[in-house]
């Protein structure tokens, strides 16, 4: 093995390969850092866009903006009074015996878990 490193061609080849690997790793790390920075900038842009769109969506629901737009378009509409507004509340149905939860209590029935997922919801 020592005789192998006495040959200058072998020493130059090994040194070149080691330096090539070192440079490749540095270039890869720089490339990854540029990609990370680009993704950070894109995330910041998307976050700003999300905030702007959320603000504009909330503006669309604003009663002041709605009443101003009604006046601008001259639709002859009025905003409802507070006592005329009705909030609809959704009520959850109580869970019964046939909701599929009892089915999973038995260990051998866990093989048939797809049956629980395949059941259709009934409409009332």
How many CA atoms within 13 Å lie on the side-chain side of 87? 3
User: Residue 2's pLDDT is what?
Assistant: 67
User: Residue 110's pLDDT is what?
Assistant: 57
User: Residue 35's pLDDT is what?
Assistant: 94
User: Residue 53's pLDDT is what?
Assistant: 94
Task: List per-residue pLDDT tens for the chain, 124 residues long.
Answer: 667 778 888 889 999 999 999 999 999 999 999 999 999 999 999 999 999 999 988 888 887 887 788 778 877 776 667 666 667 777 776 665 555 555 555 565 555 555 545 455 566 5
Reported pTM: 0.44
> In angstroms, what CA-CA distances link 76 with 12, 60, 64, 65, 82?
89, 19, 16, 16, 19
User: Residue 39's pLDDT is what?
Assistant: 95
């Amino acid at each position: 093995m020592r005789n192998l490193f006495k040959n200058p061609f072998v020493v130059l080849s090994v040194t070149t390969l080691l330096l090539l690997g070192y440079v490749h790793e540095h270039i890869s790390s720089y490339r990854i850092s540029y990609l990370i920075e680009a993704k950070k900038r894109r995330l910041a842009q998307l976050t700003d866009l999300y905030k702007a769109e959320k603000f504009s969506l909330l503006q669309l629901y604003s009663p002041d903006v709605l009443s101003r737009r009604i006046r601008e378009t001259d639709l002859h509409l009025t905003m409802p009074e507070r006592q005329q507004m009705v909030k609809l509340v959704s009520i959850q149905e109580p869970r019964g015996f046939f909701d599929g939860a009892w089915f999973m209590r038995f260990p051998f029935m866990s093989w048939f878990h797809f049956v629980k997922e395949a059941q259709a919801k009934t409409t009332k």
